[in-house]
Amino acid sequence: MSSKFTAYLATFWSITSALYFFLATFTEVLNEHFADLILGFLLGSVVGVMMNFYYGSSEGSKEKDKK
């Protein structure tokens, strides 16, 4: 499990983020400012960090370290 932890964590946050995006967009939200704050956090940090890790320099550094 420890060798695939980052993949499991990224999968969890991807599914959670997609579900929250869907619910915040297509359902009635009680507090719009709170929903905006969470959407901003998810888009700005969680999704961005995952994309940078898998498609950015972190993945390249990881591959370089393996060699």
Q: Where are the domains of the chain?
A: 2-66
Distance CA 11, CA 48 (A): 14
**CB neighbours of residue 53 within 10 Å:** 15
**pLDDT one digit per residue (tens) for the chain, 67 residues:** 677 898 898 899 889 989 999 998 899 988 889 888 988 888 888 888 888 888 776 666 667 777 6
pLDDT at residue 19, rounded to an integer: 93
Ramachandran assignment for 27, one of left (phi > 0), alpha (psi -120 to 50 degrees), beta (any other)? beta
